[in-house]
Every structure is written in C-alpha cells, then in structure tokens.
Amino acid sequence: MINKLISGIKKTGAPIVVGLDPMLKYVPSQIQDRAYRDHGETLEGAAEAIFQFNKGIVDAVYDLIPAVKPQIAMYEQFGIPGMAAYKRTVDYCHERDLIVIGDIKRGDIGSTSGAYAAGHLGHVQVGENSYAGFDEDFATVNPYLGSDGVRPFMDVCREEHKGIFVLVKTSNPSSGEFQDRLVIDNESGVQRKLYELIGEKVDSWGSELMGDSYSYVGAVVGATYPEEGKILRDIMPKACILVPGYGAQGGKGADLVHFFDKDGLGAIVNSSRGIIAAYQNDKYSSYGEEAYADASRAAVLDMIEDIRSALR
Amino acid sequence: MINKLISGIKKTGAPIVVGLDPMLKYVPSQIQDRAYRDHGETLEGAAEAIFQFNKGIVDAVYDLIPAVKPQIAMYEQFGIPGMAAYKRTVDYCHERDLIVIGDIKRGDIGSTSGAYAAGHLGHVQVGENSYAGFDEDFATVNPYLGSDGVRPFMDVCREEHKGIFVLVKTSNPSSGEFQDRLVIDNESGVQRKLYELIGEKVDSWGSELMGDSYSYVGAVVGATYPEEGKILRDIMPKACILVPGYGAQGGKGADLVHFFDKDGLGAIVNSSRGIIAAYQNDKYSSYGEEAYADASRAAVLDMIEDIRSALR
C-alpha cells in the first residue's frame, strides 16, 4: 500500500491528502435540510448529512489526489450512526480508487492494539468467516505505550500490505509540552528531544517493514514545525511523512520543503478545513454553498500549485 | 461522577472494576452457537455473542462492584456491529447502576479531541436536538499531544460532571521505552522521568476540576509497576488512580497497597481476563462453560478478598 501511495503521488503530481473531517457547521444547508427531512434532526440525520457532504467533495476532487484522510473523531461524536457514516466514507473513497488513511490515533497494548489493528487494517475471524471491520489502507498510531502498542499494527500491516503513520511531532501549539522534552539516554548519556527518540524508533520499526522505496511505517510531523521536520527527515530517511497543519492551522507550502526528499517525494501534506470548508473562506466565497464542492476543487488546485512551486 | 465512584467504592467495599474486554475465544460455545444460529457467522453474530457474554457476567457481579471498564478495541474490531455491541454494553451496565469507564484511550488536538469528548462523555447538537453518542461516565485519555489534547475532555467533564483517566504509566512490558525516560526541565535543569512529569500535569489539570475529595481528572498507572505507583501516588494526591494489570498481567494485591491512600481509597483496580474468562482458569474450571458467569463471580469475590487483605 505504501508503494501504491507513492505511485499515486507520482501519477497525480500531488503529494496531497484531503482531510475528510466534517463538522455540521461546514455542511451546506441544502444538504442538511435534505438529510433532516428524510431522517429528522437525529444522529442518523447528521450522519447522512456528513456522508453526502463528503461524497460531493470526493466526486469533485478524486481525480486530483492520491488519498484522503477521514478523521474518525468527527464521525464518532455522532455515535453508531456516525461510525456507520465513517465506514460509508471509507468504502465510497475506495470506489473512487482513493487510498484511505484512517486518522484514528489508536494505540494500546498487546492484544488490544492487535484488536484495533485487525478492525481497521486487517480481518477478524468469526467461525469459518473472515471480515474486515473498517478496512482503511493506513491508520495513524499513538506511540506513547511503546513498542508493545505499535508492533501489533506492524504485524497486521505485514500480512495485509497496509501501513501506519506513527505520531512523532504533532502540529498543535502544545505538542512540545512532552514531545520537545530533552531526554537523556540511560547508557550513552546523550541528550535529544523525545520526538527525535520516537523518530529513531520509527526508523528502526520501519526498517523491518520496507516497501520498494519507503517503509510501511511512516510518521506524522506537523507542518507548523518546519525545523523539526528537517531534523526528522534526516532521522527517518525511509519514512513517508504525513504532514498535517497546512492551511487553516497555519502551515504554508514554503514551510514544507524540508519534509520532502531531494526528489520531491517522501511526504504527503494534509489539508482538512482549508479544502472541505473552502466555500466558507473569503477567497472562495463566490462559489456559494450550492457549489461548495467546486470551491473545494479550486482549493485543491491552489494547494497543489503552492506545494509544487515550493518544491521547485 | 467521581463522587459517585468514590461512594460506590465505599458502599461495596470493593475498589474494583471489571474489565469487559471480550474476545470470542472467551465466549462459551452455547452463547456463540445461539448467536450464530440467529445471525450467522457474521460480524452481527459476533457482536451478539459478546454482548450476551457481557450481560451474563454483569448480571452475576453487578452487586459486588461499583464500576466496569469495557475496552472499546475489543468491540471496534467487529466494525459497526461491534461498536453497537459496545453501546449496548454501556447502556446495559447503566441499567444495572454500574459506573462505566470507557477504555477508549483517545487523544487528539483541539476540536478533534472535543469531538471525542462530546461523543463519549458529552452531547452533540443536531438542529434543535441534543444527543449523547456513547454516554460513558469516564474515559481514558492519551496525553502524548499535550494539554491541547486533554483540555477539551476537561471542558466536557466540567459541563457533564464526568471524568477522565489520563495514561501516565501503563502496565505493559515496554511502557518504559518512552514513559521512563529521564527528561530535563528546560528552566530548572531538574531531571525526572517522563511519567513523573505527566503525573505532575495530571495533578495540575486535576486541581482545576475537583470533586468532593478527588479530582475528575484521574490517572492510569499499571499494577505491574508498584514502585512507580508509590511515587505517582505522592505526585498526584487528588487523583483517583485506575490500576490495570492485576491478575492475568501479573499484578497481585500486595503490589497495590501504595496505589491507595492511607484510608484505603484513591485507587480502583481493574481485572479483565482474570474475571471474565475465569472459567478457563484451572482454579475455577470446575464451574464449566455453562456456569461461566458464576466462575466470574467467584473470581470477583477472591479479588476483593485479596485486595482487602493487602490493604489491612
């Protein structure tokens, strides 16, 4: 799947992932009205509205990009109907031949991490039958619990040819609270930051699970921290870096050059609100809410150009 | 809700939480057979089997304990039907007046953490209506992303009088890989372990959100690390400590005394496999799989006695 992602980036020339993180306040009124007319102002109504919203965007941009990244929290807040809308979104994106990165940030220990891995990337056995619960292609993983939490995902990735992105340096303002702490190596006494240590682990885990040119074990590093991105690019030469924080969170194309390799590969940049709610942005407001998906397409094209020109 | 938890512990005399982490291999054949007869060997069949398994255990032990802790990964692996079984389990435990600690280990940033918090502990607004998606009483939270990831949960806890347990020192063998690293304070130069730093944060977050005697912000510290438990008890005097790792993971009652205050409160010990799969353990095998729930009750009674005698 990492090979498919890299070839998708090459084919589209767009190292870009659209974050499908729908909030009801982004969903145009015509879509909400229709969903509530059919399902009432219920969790089912909200779930239908966010799925139809997603579908419109996917139909408008699928030919431009290799991948999407639905943020499961935005669906999980609507309970079971919301989770069903997440699954419908994953399936619909697969119909459009998009790679799906499930932004699930799961992480637990042993058999529990194994259960998350099976549910999102693998299969579970029920009697004689085998089922894929959510069936994303990649998942984001939280490393705080150590190798015990990450290896069960790696085991499933090995079997299923799927991948993970491990949180290394997140894009939020307080990410440094723990991630930037200087840690001292017990043996050598060498000091480095916690995110560097975790980056080294990602490199080491990743070396066990290589695709053609990149590893099935990638990393999440926020666009809002370009200096750290440069350091981590060196620490993890075989990791594909998933870069959130572009656009609405403040990251710009020019900040991103050091997340990429010399050949312009090795990173994929996410934008969520900046794309899916583009029609609410002054720059694209002339589209209006009826044509929200066209506004999203315009925003994707602008983002591609911004990143291409930065990489030139 | 933290007050209700503490009063539940006092009333039952059992600082114990039963972990409802069903795996199909724990579910007796009579329950699986019935579920597959009605639903086939499908995700729905598996979901029905694990719910009925849980129900039997809850019916057998609800009068002995204040709380249960379903591990959502064990449900999530079965996709949407599994998530629905999780929700049924939460609701059924509430019918039995048990406090439900959702072991969800979520954690993200800003509005995304807010969405998890709303979905699991709070409410979402759909038009004129408000809904609770999953409606647990407590949730476990991963702190790796810093305060940005934890505060949105605290905001919902404040409104809803619910609580969280923040992962501080987890019970797994590799938990030390990152959590035990010595970190250097940028200003004072003081060195302490990462789990101590996070314990200090839990204490500080918790001081903003106090119940009568304990905070709505608790901590997870594994029974497998009694020395660290002692240190963390001192660092976080107002935090209720959720202690996994008892029983099947190796922790014993005698290891647990330092997780508690002088008055025998301030901690609640989880056992999952040791209780729910007790009938598969030699000690309780005479119950057989038909009477699996009676075996679970016997295991709960033994656990209560083990912990009481350690606390004497």
Cα of B195 to nearest chain A Cα, Å = 10
Residue A160 is part of which domain span? 2-311
Please report, for residues A1, A18, B55, the alpha-carbon distance to residue B92 in angstroms, rounded to integers and kept in the order given: 40, 39, 8
Chain A neighbours among B 209-248 (CB < 8 Å)?
none
A141 has a pLDDT exceeding 90:
yes
The ipTM, to two decimals, is 0.97
Q: For residue B280, count CB atoms less than 10 angstroms from its CB and return exposed for 0-12, middle for 13-18, buried for 19 or more.
A: middle
- In order, the DSSP letters of A263-304 are TS-SEEEEESHHHHTGGGSGGGGGGTTTTHHHHHHHHHHHHH
**Average pLDDT of chain A to the nearest whole number:** 96
SS3 readout for B244-291: CCEHHHCECHHHHHHHCCCCCCCEEEEECHHHHCHHHCHHHHHHCCCC
Write the DSSP symbol of residue A256: G
Model confidence, pTM = 0.97
> Which of A4, A105, A193, A252 is labelled catalytic?
A105
User: In the beta sheet, which residues pair with residue B241?
Assistant: B219, B267
Q: Residues A255-267: what's their mean pLDDT? A: 91
Chain A neighbours among B 254-273 (CB < 8 Å)?
none
A251 has a pLDDT exceeding 80:
no
Q: Residues A277-293: what's their mean pLDDT? A: 97
Q: Tens digit of pLDDT per residue, chain B (312 long)?
A: 899 999 999 999 999 999 999 999 999 999 999 999 999 999 999 999 999 999 999 999 999 999 999 999 999 999 999 999 999 999 999 999 999 999 999 999 999 999 999 999 999 999 999 999 999 999 999 999 999 999 999 999 999 999 999 999 999 999 999 999 999 887 788 899 999 999 999 999 999 999 999 999 999 999 999 999 999 999 999 999 999 989 866 767 888 999 999 888 999 999 999 999 999 999 999 999 999 999 999 999 999 999 999 998
CATH number at residue B66: 3.20.20.70
Cα of B175 to nearest chain A Cα, Å = 5
By the 8 A CB rule, do B131 and B168 touch?
no
Q: What's residue A1's pLDDT?
A: 86
Query: Any CB–CB contact under 8 A between A146 and chain B?
Result: yes
Beta strand B129-131 with B124-126 is: antiparallel
Q: What's residue A264's pLDDT?
A: 87
Please give the Cα distance from A48 to A39 (Å, whole number): 8
Q: What's residue B1's pLDDT?
A: 86
Q: pLDDT-based confidence at A66, cuts 50/70/90?
A: very high
Q: What's residue A185's pLDDT?
A: 80
Cβ separation of B126 and A45 shorter than 8 Å?
yes
Cβ separation of B167 and A175 shorter than 8 Å?
no
Residues of B in contact with A73 (CB under 8 A): 106, 108, 112-113, 115-116, 119
> Which of B105, B193, B230, B252 is labelled catalytic?
B105
Q: Which two tokens stand for residue B147?
A: 């305060």
Please give the Cα distance from A226 to A230 (Å, whole number): 6
Query: Any CB–CB contact under 8 A between B283 and chain A?
Result: no
Please give the Cα distance from A69 to A75 (Å, whole number): 13
Residues 6+ apart with CB under 8 A from A283: none
- In order, the DSSP letters of A60-93 are HHTTT-SEE--BTHHHHTTHHHHHHHHHHHHHHH
Total domains, chain A: 1
Q: Residues A39-55: what's their mean pLDDT? A: 98
A164 has a pLDDT exceeding 80:
yes
| B89-97: long-range pairs with CB below 8 Å, 24+ | B89/B20, B89/B51, B89/B54, B90/B134, B90/B135, B90/B136, B91/B135, B92/B51, B92/B54, B92/B55, B92/B58, B93/B20, B93/B58, B93/B62, B93/B68, B94/B135, B96/B58, B96/B59, B96/B62, B97/B62
Query: Any CB–CB contact under 8 A between B149 and chain A?
Result: yes
User: In the beta sheet, which residues pair with residue A130?
Assistant: A125
Q: Which residue of A has its CA nearest to B50?
A: A126
Chain A neighbours among B 3-42 (CB < 8 Å)?
21, 23-24, 32, 36, 41-42
Q: Which residue of B has its CA nearest to A184?
A: B182
Q: What's residue A67's pLDDT?
A: 98
Please give the Cα distance from A21 to B268 (Å, whole number): 36
